[in-house]
Amino acid sequence: MTTTMKNANRRLTPGTRVVSRTDGEPGRVVRVATYRRNGIDAWSYLVETACGQETWDAGELFVPEQD
């Protein structure tokens, strides 16, 4: 895995559609929940799902391709 791929989820904007790698649940980014030490990159996101809002680690989600 390249550095670009590994770090791609650290700067997602609100409204971005994402999918959980653990269970395949879809959602949308609401905001950054916690930041990394640099204060710019996200450690986790608050994500709106069908079941409500959840906090997902940046490494546990991916952005599906948009048509």
**13: confidence class by pLDDT, cuts 50, 70, 90:** very high
For 55-64, how does the pLDDT look when each residue is reduced to its tens digit (9 = 90+)?
999 999 999 9
Please tell me the distance from the alpha carbon of residue 26 to that of residue 49, in angstroms, as a whole number.
6
Closest CA to 9 of 37, 40, 41: 41
pLDDT tens digits, 38-53: 999 999 999 999 999 9
Question: 16-46, pLDDT tens digit by residue?
Answer: 999 999 999 999 999 999 999 999 999 999 9
The structural domains of the chain, with segments of one domain joined by +, span 3-62
How far apart CA 9 and CA 49 sit, in angstroms, is: 18
* pTM, 2 dp: 0.86
Tell me, which fold does domain 3-62 have in CATH? SH3 type barrels. (2.30.30)
Cα–Cα distance measured from residue 28 to residue 46, given in angstroms and rounded to the nearest whole number? 9
